[in-house]
């Protein structure tokens, strides 16, 4: 048996404790679909809320929520109907289909085979004598397959529709309303966090290639003649690790390490807006627990680019299981999309400058896969300490903020613990309550689900109104009087560490 | 032209200001799909967060997020494949299809024609000589049509899948994981707020019948022999308006007005859990701005019931445009669903009591349509005052909490206003900033989008560090010193009204 990867370890905890697991288990499963339990749903929501702190609230950008199902005309105009395809090789024996480029990658260790194009893929399949990975049968010549989910809208004879594979088109479709709501002023952004679906031919890598997932996407509309970003100063000194096109082309190993501002000055990043979002992105991902040195930005080569993109940078994070992994694309899309929709719909999307000239706004797009970020938070926060698993989930993101335990159930201690639980609930905290099993097992559980603090109620509580508060990361315990608890917790979640000041340290574990 | 309905008025504001509008406008639209702008997205999110306060956080119920796309086997087991159908009448001339029961309702004023069954619908279509509402052509005999969106999962020869029309099945599919994560104890609940899709034959009533929308659903699993709800005391005295089956059957006009506890004692509501959720539901909807006297609970007649339901009550709200409108179903589903999935999957879902007996848990389900709730908040908060539209959106739900206006842009006033904006942003508030147009127009805008407070920065601010804070509902203005502003706002959003105490009232409007 292959040794357990980090992914296996995380996935096992995720399933046992309730972060995520494969969907439709009781009916034999269906690859590419994940179900989130209580902890995963909350962790995802907290990551999304943090993303809004970074990318929406402070800038006053405009949110949007548009349908997942779209009529065919939308994807005709956007180019997806022509381009959102992959090479699929069907087994002539068992009938299963597989992504041809992935089969080649698995056999050769090459990366990004997709970018080599159809002819290369077809001939490599033959030269490498690739067989069906499931039954060993002969594979037919790969053909291009549209990887959007197709459906029909309306009753008999309805209109063909597809589930959107990204959310950006909605921002372009609703651009004309957006600019009115932005009071006719550029720059402005439309932002969406919502579901998308991709009919992957043969999903693999668990969480990293799902058929249904959540994208957090932002389209920033600006005048290419006024390309300044008003918040650029906030990130300009951030030091990033960058591989530009030349470096990727020549497989340079060491990245350029330079400030965001230098990257713009050296024209490694064309627009200030794109540079702003890259700097902001690094900071956001740091808050998720990934240090800057485990992050990098990698340019796409011209033949790796999506059909719309002028200067895309992938934001990558180093994972133990899969190495450098894309978590975000930050692309300069020019006015490609708005121009397409303008032509296809006949609607004018131009903006008039004060000098009377007209133009179609340009677009910069930072976009994240939320499900993937959730996994990254989990992998990064995982520690094995002795026989214990600890998830050092950043406290801003933890599914539950504090756990409440009565040491025993008798002598009024459970009732007291419920009282404390209700007190903390009334302060707006997410509180878990656990009265069962040994206290050691209960501490082990909060460690494994990443609850940063646990409060134990014992006989001292009944006598002197003090309780014990325990820190997940250090396992330190402090005695604290009940009346100080709410303020101490509030301070803690503001980023302070008030416990040692307010309480008396005890050692019990 | 027909007079403007309240819906027309709300929809006009919604489109112009950015709450919601019909999707795919630039491509001619597609009925049954709505797009949410900045204000609508935020309002929906705030309603969802409030729902979690009522139905998730305090009880410690378990959240879940499962895929929208499900393989066919799921809907075979759940009964949807057989039952999730409507009678559709196709026009022999123009080819459009329409829901037969709705055509009959439109012609006769009858309600709930669906419940009369297929034979009655077919014969009424003939007797009433109903023609195509679009072209006047003859309609074919209605046929039952499956109203789930169909798709195919995987490449060529993949598996048939459907978009789920509700989220409840996911709770049943994942029940076995849920009870593990609930530490093997009943009662517990699985809760989901997520997208669903219904391929409506001929959507109408704008927001009220969408093809894609968000459901907030809760499945409470309990032992029918231990049916007590530990939180029943919180709601037992709430006075509700109730129509039981007999009253609905006999078209009784005046509801029973009684407490939740009395309704249980008189066996008008079978289980305490269902009664608890009905009481909680009324309180939740009151917080959205709908007084209890505009709410009622109406039992389903046996022939109106969904295929799974034992004792469903609709929670209805009185709307100006559409009269009494369902906003929630609260159903006692017994063990119908778990038993079905147990049989279809071969997985045992029984629980063992301490006495050794085994049983399949019973289920109570309160479920809401989020999109509909958003509309209800808007309609209920709307006031026409002189020539102004005011949205008295409850302050907990407002898309923006406070607006910041510099009276003029010159003399450093705009810079000072940006400073105040940044101060408020640093306190975590959702702040809008508007420096354009007359101050009167800017106040009119915040009234219309429901921002409860606006802060104006003027020459006094530059001289004496005071600013003017204006209340959306009363139009009262108070002068306040800047250093008191953050605490005053915090107190205001906690539910206090600190402004008159802290500041000096001024009249300017």
pLDDT digits (tens, 9 = 90+) for B124-135: 999 999 999 989
The closest CB to that of B38, out of A41, A145, A181, belongs to A181
Banded pLDDT at B308 (limits 50, 70, 90):
low
Three-class SS state of B234: helix
Which range of A82-96, A317-331, B299-313, B370-384 scores highest in mean pLDDT? It is B370-384
User: Looking at residue B56, what is its pLDDT?
Assistant: 98
Closest Cβ–Cβ partner in B15, B58, B67 for A425? B58
pLDDT at A155: 73
Provide the shortest C-alpha distance from residue A285 to chain B (in Å): 20
Instruction: Please report the pLDDT score of residue B95 as a whole number.
Output: 86
Q: Tell me the pTM.
A: 0.96
Residue B112, pLDDT score: 81
Q: Distance between CA B463 and CA B365 in Å, rounded?
A: 59
Query: From the CA of B176, how many Å to the nearest CA of chain A?
Result: 9
Domains annotated for chain B, with CATH where assigned, are 6-82+157-379 (3.30.930.10), 85-146 (3.30.40.230), 400-505 (3.40.50.800)
**CB distance A24–B70 less than 8 Å?**
yes
Q: Nearest chain A residue to B85 by CA: give it.
A: A155
b/e sequence B286-300, b meaning 16+ C-beta within 10 Å: eebbbeeebbbbbbb
The pLDDT value recorded for residue B359 is: 96
Looking at the complex, report in whole angstroms how far the Cα of residue B38 sits from the nearest Cα belonging to chain A.
Answer: 4
What is the per-residue pLDDT for A484? 93
Write out pLDDT tens, residues A180-235: 999 889 999 999 999 999 999 888 767 788 999 999 999 999 999 999 999 999 99
Of B25, B42, B183, the CB nearest to A436: B183
The confidence score (pLDDT) of residue B209 equals 84
Where would I find the H helices in B152-239?
A: 168-173, 175-181, 232-235
Q: For residue range A227-258, what is the model confidence (pLDDT) as tens digits?
A: 999 999 999 999 999 999 899 889 899 999 99
Please write the tens of the pLDDT for every residue from B207-244: 788 999 999 999 999 999 999 999 999 999 999 999 99
**CB–CB of B155 and A145 under 8 A?**
yes
Q: State the number of CA atoms in the 13 A half-sphere of A350 facing the CB.
A: 9
- Cβ atoms of A468 and A409 closer than 8 Å: no
Q: What is the predicted pLDDT for the residue at A95?
A: 86
Q: What is the mean pLDDT of residues A342-350?
A: 94
**Cα A4 to chain center, whole Å?**
24
Contacts of B65 in chain A (CB under 8 A): 35-36, 40-41, 44
Residues of chain B with Cβ-Cβ distance to A41 below 8 Å are 63-65
Q: How many residues does chain B have?
A: 509
By C-alpha distance, the chain B residue nearest A371 is: B65
Task: Name residues whose C-beta falls within 8 Å of residue B129's C-beta, 6 or more positions apart in sequence.
Answer: none
What rounded mean pLDDT belongs to chain A? Answer: 93
Give which of B37, B343, B414, B426 to mutate to test A binding, by max A Cβ within 10 Å: B37
So what's the pLDDT on residue B300?
Answer: 84
* Mean pLDDT calculated for residue range B404-428: 95
pLDDT tens across B456-505, in order?
Answer: 999 999 999 999 999 999 999 999 999 999 999 999 999 988 887 777 77
- Residues A272-290 have a mean pLDDT of 97
**Mean per-residue pLDDT for B45-69?**
98
Among all chains, which residue has been given the structure tokens 């819906």?
B7
pLDDT at A317 over 90: yes
pLDDT band at residue A322 under the 50/70/90 scheme: confident
Picking from A35, A57, A173, the nearest residue to B26 by CB comes out as: A173
Q: Which string of DSSP letters, residue by residue, matches A347-361?
A: ----EE-TTS-EEPP
Whether residue A509 has pLDDT greater than 60:
no
Query: What pLDDT score was predicted for residue A157?
Result: 67
Q: In this complex, do B63 and A73 lie within 8 Å of one another by their Cβ atoms?
A: no
Among B30, B37, B41, whose Cβ lies nearest the Cβ of A177? B37
Phi-psi region of A60 (alpha: psi -120 to 50; beta: other; left: phi over 0): left
Residue B309: pLDDT over 80: no
Among the partner-chain residues A95, A149, A180, the one whose CB lies closest to the CB of B69 is A149
- The whole-number average pLDDT for the span B378-403 is 97
Contacts of A53 (CB under 8 A, 6+ apart): none
**What's the pLDDT tens digit per position in B428-444?**
999 999 998 899 999 99
The C-alpha atoms of residue A107 and residue B170 are separated, in whole angstroms, by 37
Amino acid B157: pLDDT: 67
**Cβ-count burial of A310 within 10 angstroms (0-12 exposed, 13-18 middle, 19+ buried)?**
middle
pLDDT in tens, A365-407: 999 999 999 999 999 999 999 999 999 999 999 999 999 999 9
Q: How far is B267 from chain A (nearest CA, A)?
A: 31
Is the predicted pLDDT of residue A507 greater than 70, yes or no? Answer: no
- B466-471: strand order across its sheet: B431-433, B402-406, B453-457, B466-471, B477-481, B504-506
Mutate to test the interface with B, among A155, A341, A345, A370 (most CBs of B within 10 A): A155
Its ipTM equals 0.95
Alpha-carbon A359 to chain mean position: 34
What does pLDDT average to over chain B?
Answer: 93
Q: What is the pLDDT of residues B142-198, one digit of tens each?
A: 999 999 999 999 876 679 999 999 999 999 999 999 999 998 899 999 999 999 999
pLDDT the model gives residue A209: 84
Pairwise CB contact (< 8 Å): A27 & B345: yes
> What's the rounded mean pLDDT across residues A255-284?
96
Q: Which residue has the higher pLDDT, B71 or B95?
A: B71
Which member of B32, B154, B344 has the closest CB to residue A199? B154
Query: Which residues in chain A touch residue B149, judged by CB atoms under 8 angstroms apart?
Result: 69, 151-153
Rounded CA separation B172/A395 (Å) = 32
Q: Percent of chain A having pLDDT more than 90?
A: 83
* Distance (Å) from the alpha carbon of A254 to chain B's nearest alpha carbon: 38
| Cα–Cα distance measured from residue A136 to residue B338, given in angstroms and rounded to the nearest whole number | 40
How far is residue A113's CA from residue A97's CA, in Å, rounded to a whole number? 18
Residue A301 has pLDDT above 90, yes or no: no
Positive or negative: CA dihedral B59, B62, B67, B71? negative
A90: chain B residues, CB-CB within 8 Å: 155-157
Q: Distance between CA atoms of A331 and A270, rounded to whole angstroms?
A: 10
């Amino acid at each position: 048996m292959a040794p357990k990867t980090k992914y296996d370890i995380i996935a096992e905890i995720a399933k046992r404790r309730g972060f995520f697991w494969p969907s439709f288990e009781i009916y034999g499963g269906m690859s590419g679909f994940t179900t989130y339990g209580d902890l995963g749903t909350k962790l995802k929501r907290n990551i999304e809320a943090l993303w809004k702190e970074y990318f929406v609230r402070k800038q006053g950008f405009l949110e949007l929520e548009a349908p997942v199902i779209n009529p065919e005309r939308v994807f005709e105009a956007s180019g997806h109907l022509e381009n959102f395809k992959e090479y699929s090789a069907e087994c002539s024996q068992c009938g299963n289909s597989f992504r041809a480029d992935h089969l080649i990658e698995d056999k050769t260790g090459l990366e990004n085979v997709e970018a080599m194009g159809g002819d290369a893929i077809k001939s490599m399949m033959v030269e490498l004598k690739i067989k069906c990975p499931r039954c060993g049968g002969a594979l037919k010549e790969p053909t291009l397959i549209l990887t959007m989910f197709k459906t029909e809208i309306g009753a008999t004879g309805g209109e063909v529709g597809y589930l959107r594979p990204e959310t950006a088109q909605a921002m372009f479709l609703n651009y004309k309303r957006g600019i009115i709501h932005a009071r006719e002023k550029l720059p402005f952004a439309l932002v969406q966090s919502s579901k998308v679906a991709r009919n992957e031919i043969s999903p693999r890598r668990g969480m990293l290639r799902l058929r249904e997932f959540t994208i957090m996407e932002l389209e920033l509309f600006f005048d290419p003649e006024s390309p300044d970003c008003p918040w650029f100063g906030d990130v300009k000194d951030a030091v990033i690790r960058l591989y530009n096109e030349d470096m990727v082309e020549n497989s340079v190993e060491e990245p350029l390490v330079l400030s965001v501002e230098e990257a713009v000055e050296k024209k490694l990043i064309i627009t200030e807006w794109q540079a702003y979002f890259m700097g902001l992105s690094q900071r956001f991902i740091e808050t998720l627990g990934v240090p800057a040195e485990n992050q990098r930005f990698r340019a796409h080569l011209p033949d790796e680019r999506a059909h719309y993109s002028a200067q895309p940078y992938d934001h990558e994070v180093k994972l133990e299981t899969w190495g450098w992994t894309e978590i975000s694309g930050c692309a300069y899309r020019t006015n490609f999309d708005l121009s397409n929709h303008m032509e296809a719909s006949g609607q004018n999307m131009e903006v008039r400058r004060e000098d009377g000239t007209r133009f179609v706004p340009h677009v910069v797009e930072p976009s994240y896969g939320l499900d993937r970020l959730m996994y990254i938070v989990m992998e990064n926060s995982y520690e094995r300490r002795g026989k214990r698993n600890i998830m050092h989930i950043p406290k801003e993101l933890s599914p539950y903020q504090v756990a409440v335990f009565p040491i025993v159930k008798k002598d009024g201690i459970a009732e007291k613990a419920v009282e404390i639980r209700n007190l903390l609930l009334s302060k707006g905290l997410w509180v878990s309550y656990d009265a069962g099993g040994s206290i050691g097992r209960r501490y082990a559980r909060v460690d494994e689900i990443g609850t940063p603090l646990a409060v134990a109620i014992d006989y001292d509580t009944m006598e002197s109104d003090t309780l014990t508060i325990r820190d997940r990361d250090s396992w330190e315990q402090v005695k604290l009087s009940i009346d100080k608890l709410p303020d101490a917790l509030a301070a803690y979640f503001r980023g302070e560490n008030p416990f040692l000041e307010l309480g008396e340290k005890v050692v019990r574990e």
